[in-house]
Amino acid sequence: MNEKYFPKEIEDKWQRRWAEEKTFEVKEDPGRQKFYGLEMLAYTSGRAHIGHVSNFSIGDALSWYKRMRGFNVLHPFGWDAFGQPAETAAIKEGTDPEEFTREAMAYMKWQFQRMGLTYDWSREIATCDPEYYRWNQWFFTQMLKRGLVYRKNSPVNWCPKENITLSNEQASQGRCWRCGAPVIQKDMVQWFAKITAYADQLVDDLEQLEGKWPERVITQQRNWIGRSLGAEVTFQIAESDESVTVFTTRIDTIYGANAIVLAPEHPLLPKVLEGKPEREEVLAFAENLKAEQRAAALDEQEKKGIFTGGYAINPFNGERLPIWIANFVLIQYGTGAVMAVPSGDQRDFEFSRKYSIPFRQIKLTADGGEIQPEDLQEADESWTTTVNSGRWSGLDSREANRLMTEYAEANAFGKVAITYKLRDWGISRQRYWGAPVPVIYCEKDGVVPVPDDQLPVILPPNANLKVEGGSPLDHIPEFVNVECPACGGPARRDTDTMDTFVDSSWYIFRYCDPHNDELPFDPEKVDYWMPVNQYIGGIEHAVLHLIYTRFWTKMMRDLGLVKFDEPVLSLLTQGMIIKETYECPEHEWLFPEQVSEDKTCKLCGRPVTVGRVEKMSKSKKNAVDPIEIIDIYGADALRLFVLFAGPPEKDKEWSDAGIEGSSRYLQRVWRIAAKWQPKVANDEAASASSLDQAALQDYQRRLRRRTHQIIRAITENFEDRMHFNTCISSLMELTNEIYSFDQAVEKNGGPTGSDISVAREALEALTRMLAPFAPHAAEELWESFGHAESLARSEWPGFEQDLTREEGIEVALQINGKLRSKIFASPDASEDDLKQAALADEKVKAAAAGRDPAKVIVVPKKLVNVVFK
RNA sequence: GGGGAUGUGGCGAAAUCGGUAUACGCGAAGGUCUCAAAAACCUUUGGGAUAACCUCCCGUGUGGGUUCGACUCCCACCAUCCCCACCA
């Protein structure tokens, strides 16, 4: 074996061998337990970035471990290949999105292969392949038949910069999730997936994920679905046959209602205004509010409203409540109308104060006294005791809430109601680079789904992407004009494409059976591999992809394709790799070497602004190209570094010194392995397990003990924490132990037979445990130790509990809780032994000064605390 | 406004169940080797007092509390970051 570590050579060799021998290709094997490990679908952006390296290194380490533990490991890879950026890039460069995407895919695949990732490449998928998106279309038609997708004219979120519609999830905070442009509302006929039909299941099944998904993802999903239990109450409109229904979670405060407030878009508004002198003014005001809302989606606006001139009757007490419209009432939520209770809701409070709408009821102070309305500083939204509420006064508010809802129900002016923030998922896009919506419009037969035997509807090549208005597909007559599949008459195709989140909602399943042309997948294969045991990806998908794929799974379950509720058993959201940026007021972005230690610009001496960002870019001068790093240090060093920098879920800062450290560590392993290799590879040495432990020297027993302790530590870490940074620390410790052992051997004048056995045990354990983190180096070492089979087919090392036992331990001796001394004891020392040893200690005797201790606390194997009063 | 997280040496971090804080690595200092340098190897490295590698004091964002004992649990606060946000 080579004396020096040459990563390039080794990595080329093993990447070639793995590919030739199809080492990581797997198939169903009912006799073996499966493990499905998955990293999120890679978007074909054009270049691999360091975030990919981090994501894939985590997943790959776990795959290695599970494989060596004997699991049948499915670890597939694929491309999220449709989408806006490819189209934008193609428009800019005058090329074709397909060409752009295929090139990006080829280049990125080469990059990822140079990382030596252990994917089953035979299962590679790309969402832009007709053999893949055909099944998107199939699902669409299945859903259409079941009413799970439907068309409706609705205001959609529209990104004016990219000219696309966005889902609510993609337009949160009023900005486009990709380009950040302010989102506007636009009316359009759109396809919607009925995710709200699964709202309850999506909330309830979160319980199954408790403890296995990060708490914050569960919380975010729960908040996003936003189920809230309350009541709908119907108020008769005075001098009219009409009524208005509001949604409230606090019907117990209804005696405090002082107004009914409608959203400006509320359909009842024209009727309320009928014949009123305020009519024109109010309608103009409403138009104004709508316009303002569109313009300023970002910040909370000042509350604005106007009295309509109409009144509604409070069904509980017959009071006449003025009907207002206001900007803070949202048409999309609840019934688009609320009852204002200024004493119980901060928004209503501000609104009532601003427009001097008199308060009807007030809350009790803590000591039971009444507060006058003018003394109120803010609304009290807590659950306390009802006041001034007729026969419900003095009740616990929760109890009142229940009783009053029942009363309303019994008297037919109200009912229990549940509302959700979740809205149906708009899935049509007026763009080219996506899967065509498989629908045909016929004058006679209406909306006709494309029959299964005519799928896929192929995305036509060479579209003009620069057309104004509508989708580019609108302008391709041979695509648009078709025969109606039902009557054969002339018909038109739908020219929208599907949101790319449809593609990624079910790709997890496709990996189980990626080339099936009968069905999206064979349910039996899915039954073997699914659910995903460990899913790894970014937190940015907490409410996008992860809620869509959960929805899709439930939908497929109802189609009879799968037998379970949740697609992903365990989720890890990995942190970002961030890198500092430096910005100088004079010289803009600076390279790190242009910044002096006191964070001033070396060119002009001005203080620089230090930023911490994930997105690396050339313009900000903080880019790190994984391939450049691999060229210098090797893929193993790079992978080792990103895993060693911190625990997977935490953000980690890129560091050039860190990558050198990783590289140095691998060289250090290499040196000691190369030194012992000629002896270790010799089969004549006895195996360590046959050695007589009692006959070994101290340094030999120590190395065996440390070896077994470290195997235990790393194994446990893989099983329940996946904190690979500490696994790597442990490997470094083991390496250091081998070096110390080596020195002891040198001192004794060279290795004996038992030295070789002990060294082999340690080196082979080290090599096998290195495989998840630095697989190429590990494979090469393993081979050089005389093993013909790939490490991928070898076992994870086991440990013997007996050998992990310390021979002598150091026990802390505390006096009154402060560390004062140490006791050396046997690990078997009884509590009483330790107590006696502690009391015999000089320091303890001195502190005692003749007194008896008030208390002696013994923690076996750890410490003794002697307490004097 | 709501929700979540984080705060430990010069730096990345460790401490898994309330039990010796700072493992492992980076950086730094000194040494060995060398004509020299690099690499490698060895030693030291939280702060302070002291002649002292004896010993003592302080020390995990701040202030309290519980406990024989708190980075860890509880309360309040400060700072930073992330997500959601007029959701009735």
For residues A138-150, average pLDDT: 95
A422 nearest nucleotide via C1' and CA: B87
A172 nearest nucleotide via C1' and CA: B84
pLDDT digits (tens, 9 = 90+) for A401-421: 999 999 999 999 999 999 999
> Is residue A365 scored above 50 in pLDDT?
no
Amino acid code (one letter) for A654: W
Q: Is the bond into A456 cis (omega within 30 degrees of 0)? A: yes
Nucleotides of B under 7 A from a protein CB: 2-5, 12-16, 19-21, 23-27, 39-42, 56-57, 68-70, 82-88
As a whole number of angstroms, the distance between CA A763 and CA A60 comes to: 22
Looking at residue A83, its pLDDT comes to: 87
For residues A76-83, average pLDDT: 94
Provide the 3-class DSSP secondary structure of residue A445.
Answer: coil
Q: Distance in angstroms, CA of A315 to C1' of B17?
A: 58
For A396, the token pair is 């616990």
Looking at residue A345, its pLDDT comes to: 86
Q: Distance in angstroms, CA of A832 to C1' of B69?
A: 19
Query: Reading across the β-sheet that carries A125-126, which strands appear in turn?
Result: A42-43, A78-80, A125-126
Looking at chain A, the number of H-run helices and the number of E-run strands are 26, 32
For A704, the token pair is 């065996």
Phi-psi region of A313 (alpha: psi -120 to 50; beta: other; left: phi over 0): beta
- Does the structure's ipTM exceed the value 0.85? yes
C-alpha distances in Å from residue A459, one per residue of A434, A447, A464, A748: 8, 20, 13, 75
Looking at residue A616, its pLDDT comes to: 55
Helix A626-633 and helix A7-20: axis angle, to 10°?
110
Most distant CA pair in chain A: distance in Å? 110
Confidence of residue A287 (pLDDT cuts 50, 70, 90): confident
Q: Distance in angstroms, CA of A707 to C1' of B60?
A: 31
Q: Where are the beta strands (DSSP E) in A314-445?
A: 320-326, 337-340, 414-419, 425-426, 428-429, 439-442
As a whole number of angstroms, the distance between CA A143 and CA A191 comes to: 11
As a whole number of angstroms, the distance between CA A723 and CA A718 comes to: 7
pLDDT digits (tens, 9 = 90+) for A738-772: 999 998 898 888 888 889 999 999 999 999 999 99
As a whole number of angstroms, the distance between CA A28 and CA A11 comes to: 29
Q: Where are the beta strands (DSSP E) in A568-717?
A: 571-574, 577-584, 588-590, 609-613, 652-653
Looking at residue A749, its pLDDT comes to: 84
Q: Which residues pair with A126 in a beta bridge?
A: A79
Give φ, ψ of A85 to 5 degrees.
-60, -35
Looking at residue A761, its pLDDT comes to: 94
A864 nearest nucleotide via C1' and CA: B19
A345 nearest nucleotide via C1' and CA: B88
Out of A74-78, A90-94, A251-255, A675-679, pick the least confident.
A90-94
Looking at residue A343, its pLDDT comes to: 83
Give φ, ψ of A503 to 5 degrees.
-55, -45
Q: Distance in angstroms, CA of A670 to C1' of B32?
A: 22
A647 nearest nucleotide via C1' and CA: B13
Q: Distance in angstroms, CA of A651 to C1' of B12?
A: 11
Q: Distance in angstroms, CA of A737 to C1' of B43?
A: 17
Q: Hunting for tokens 């992860």 — which residue is that?
A: A546
Looking at residue A366, its pLDDT comes to: 44
For A649, the token pair is 């879920």
As a whole number of angstroms, the distance between CA A441 and CA A445 comes to: 8
List of residues 6+ apart from A382 with CB closer than 8 A: none
| Contact (Cβ atoms closer than 8 angstroms) between residue A709 and residue A731 | no
Confidence of residue A695 (pLDDT cuts 50, 70, 90): confident
As a whole number of angstroms, the distance between CA A505 and CA A232 comes to: 35
Q: Distance in angstroms, CA of A835 to C1' of B76?
A: 40
Q: How many CB atoms lie within 10 A of CB A587?
A: 15
Looking at residue A439, its pLDDT comes to: 95
A732 nearest nucleotide via C1' and CA: B24
Q: Distance in angstroms, CA of A484 to C1' of B15?
A: 70
Confidence of residue A835 (pLDDT cuts 50, 70, 90): confident
Q: Which residues pair with A866 in a beta bridge?
A: A815, A856
Q: Distance in angstroms, CA of A351 to C1' of B1?
A: 16
> Is residue A522 scored above 50 in pLDDT?
yes
Q: Containing H/E element for A67?
A: helix A50-68
A329 nearest nucleotide via C1' and CA: B86
Nearest to A674 by CA among A748, A608, A738: A738
Of residues A822 and A244, the one with the higher pLDDT is A244
> Is residue A484 scored above 50 in pLDDT?
yes
pLDDT over 90 for what percent of chain A? 55
Strands A652-653 and A809-815: unpaired
Of residues A38 and A154, the one with the higher pLDDT is A38
For A438, the token pair is 């498989």
pLDDT digits (tens, 9 = 90+) for A575-632: 887 776 666 767 777 666 666 655 666 677 766 666 655 555 555 666 678 899 999 9
